[in-house]
């Protein structure tokens, strides 16, 4: 639609649901509502839909500015099938199953089989002993940080060399601040329900095996737990969602529309954008970052804004480096490398992008995507792009045997990257939901609640749409 078409839509047409934010959450909700027959419009401040999902091609280099992969679970598989995207998906190569952790001046592969764990330099007999004793560790009391939980159940070494780098890579976070109940609810549930992570893991494996035996597996086995992308990057998925919304009889995507004010109006909702255009709708969904939602809702109700203001988003930079043949000694035969904070390197980790998926780099070249900054090193982003690239090269140089300069590079900055589910997060969400009870017709979704992964956002957006269509949202 043209800008004038959107203005006419805003002023003359009754909208059932107005969604602010065309990231994964907002697009999934809008798509499901449009399929359900609702008149729905999605406003997006940026020039294109997708939020932080941004795929870019520069010549023969293909990179992701935001999330790099999609983990396939049943809800995502169903969505891909409904969008006719299963044939376009590409699976990560088998080498992607190998994960490396930096220790000293080496990268060490995580053990791929439990029997190999005692001989792995990352763990060793002492850590294996702690793992074997884990079923007899008592339950914790109250909310704990992830660091407290892991050290209590598994010991300091596993915290430092497995959990800390994982948290840095996934959340860009600090395990000493993250709430295990909020950030890793499945771990907390294993302890609560089974008294042990090992017993909980075995129970989950037993359930999955039973489902396969009974033929109740919700997707083909070859898709289970796989990492995927698309030839043009994962933006293919959000582009398809946006296109289907725009092509539906009652749906529309309006980019370049930055919401400035929100207020209740005649039993519905009114939103004004930066041009003064007013949008009227029966229901309003905010699918924006927590701090953006807070700024919109503060004049309406400070009790809505307060818990959102408390959610921290640390800065992160993604540094993509392209190397010519013969420059890297390491074969990059894995998913990537994570770097524990204990190693005192500023880079959080790096993905071996050209190993994961085909056609990410020119023939014979290698593409690495590294991340720097995060909750434990926010000052890193005060460096220039050139200095960030040099820092990453320095941190990875001896680990990967880099013997030359990159021939291509790109630095992407996220001043507010990933929401942190820190201590008190579940209480914040509870306070927010209580305040929302005073504002019928208003809903909030995003990666700041119920999961940061793209798949979580897609699933939660569709779930909200189902509640709205059922008259329960």
pLDDT tens figures, 37-66? 999 999 999 999 999 999 999 999 999 999
Kindly write down the DSSP assignment for every residue of 168-228, as one continuous string. Answer: HHHTS--TTTBBHHHH-HHHHHHHHHHSSHHHHHHHHHHHHHHHHHTT--SS-GGGTT-EE
Task: Give the model's confidence band at 277: pLDDT under 50 very low, under 70 low, under 90 confident, else very high.
Answer: very high
Q: How many C-beta neighbours within 10 Å does residue 48 have?
A: 15
Contact of 164 with 172, CB cutoff 8 Å: no
Q: How many C-beta neighbours within 10 Å does residue 231 have?
A: 13
**3 has a pLDDT exceeding 70:** no
pLDDT, averaged across the chain: 92
Helix, strand, coil in percent for the chain, rounding step 5: 40, 20, 35
- Asked which of 134-138, 192-196, 215-219, 262-266 is least confident by mean pLDDT, the reply is 215-219
Rounded (10°) CA dihedral 14, 18, 22, 26: -130
- Asked which of 217-226, 275-284, 313-322, 450-459 is least confident by mean pLDDT, the reply is 217-226
Instruction: State the Cα angle at 348 between 344 and 351, rounded to 5°.
Output: 135
Q: Which residues pair with 265 in a beta bridge?
A: 268
Task: Give the model's confidence band at 122: pLDDT under 50 very low, under 70 low, under 90 confident, else very high.
Answer: confident
- Segment 424-455, tens digit of pLDDT: 999 999 999 999 999 999 999 999 999 999 99
Could you tell me the two tokens for 310? 């408390």
Q: What are phi and psi of 82, to 5 degrees?
A: -70, -25
Residue 183 vs residues 138, 170, 176: alpha-carbon distances, Å: 21, 11, 12
Q: Report which of 182, 454, 227, 450 is spatially closest to residue 352, judged by C-alpha positions.
A: 227
Q: Which domains does the chain have, with CATH numbers?
A: 3-53+234-311+421-469 (3.50.50.60), 55-94+314-414 (3.90.660.20), 123-213 (1.10.3110.10)
Cα 46 from chain centroid (whole Å): 19
- Asked which of 34-38, 95-99, 316-320, 434-438 is least confident by mean pLDDT, the reply is 95-99
Task: Give the model's confidence band at 117: pLDDT under 50 very low, under 70 low, under 90 confident, else very high.
Answer: low
């Amino acid at each position: 639609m043209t800008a004038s078409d959107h203005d006419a839509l805003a002023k003359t047409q009754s909208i059932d649901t107005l969604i602010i934010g065309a990231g994964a959450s907002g697009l999934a909700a809008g798509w499901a509502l449009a399929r359900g027959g609702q008149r729905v419009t999605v406003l997006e401040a940026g020039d294109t839909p997708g939020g932080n999902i941004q795929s870019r091609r520069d010549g023969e280099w293909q990179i992701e500015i935001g999330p790099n992969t999609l983990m396939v679970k049943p809800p995502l598989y169903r969505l891909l099938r409904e969008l006719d995207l299963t044939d376009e998906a590409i699976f990560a190569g088998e080498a992607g199953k190998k994960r490396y952790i930096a220790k000293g001046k080496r990268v060490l592969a995580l053990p791929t089989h439990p029997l190999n764990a005692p001989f792995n330099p990352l763990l060793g007999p002492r850590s294996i002993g702690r793992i074997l004793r884990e079923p007899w560790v008592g339950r914790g009391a109250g909310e704990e940080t992830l660091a407290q939980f892991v050290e209590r159940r598994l010991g300091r070494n596993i915290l430092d060399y497995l959990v800390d780098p994982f948290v840095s890579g996934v959340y860009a976070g600090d395990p000493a601040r993250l709430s295990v109940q909020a950030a890793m609810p499945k771990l907390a549930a294993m302890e609560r329900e089974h008294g042990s992570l090992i017993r909980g893991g075995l129970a989950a494996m037993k359930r999955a095996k039973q489902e396969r035996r009974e033929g109740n597996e919700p997707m083909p086995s070859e898709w289970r737990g796989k990492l995927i992308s698309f030839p043009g990057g994962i933006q293919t998925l959000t582009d398809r969602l946006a296109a289907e919304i725009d092509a539906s009889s009652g749906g529309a995507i309006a980019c370049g529309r930055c919401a400035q004010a929100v207020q209740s109006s005649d039993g519905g909702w009114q939103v004004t954008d930066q041009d003064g255009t007013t949008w009227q709708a029966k229901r309003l969904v905010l699918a924006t970052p927590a701090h953006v939602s807070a700024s919109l809702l503060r004049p309406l109700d400070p009790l809505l804004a307060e818990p959102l203001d408390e959610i921290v988003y640390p800065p992160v930079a993604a540094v993509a480096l392209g190397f010519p043949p013969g420059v890297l000694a390491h074969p990059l035969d894995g998913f990537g490398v994570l770097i524990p904070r204990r190693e005192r390197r500023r880079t959080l980790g790096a993905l071996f992008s050209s190993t994961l998926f085909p056609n990410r780099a020119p023939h014979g070249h290698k593409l690495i995507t590294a991340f720097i900054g995060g909750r434990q090193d926010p000052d890193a982003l005060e460096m220039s792009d050139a200095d960030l690239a040099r820092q990453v090269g320095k941190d990875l140089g001896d680990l990967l045997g880099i013997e030359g300069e990159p021939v291509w590079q790109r630095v992407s900055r996220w001043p507010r990257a990933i929401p942190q589910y820190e201590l008190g997060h579940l209480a914040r969400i509870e306070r927010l939901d209580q305040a929302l009870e005073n504002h019928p017709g208003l809903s909030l979704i995003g990666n700041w609640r119920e999961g940061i992964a793209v798949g979580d956002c897609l699933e939660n957006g569709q779930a909200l749409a189902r509640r709205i269509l059922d008259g329960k949202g």
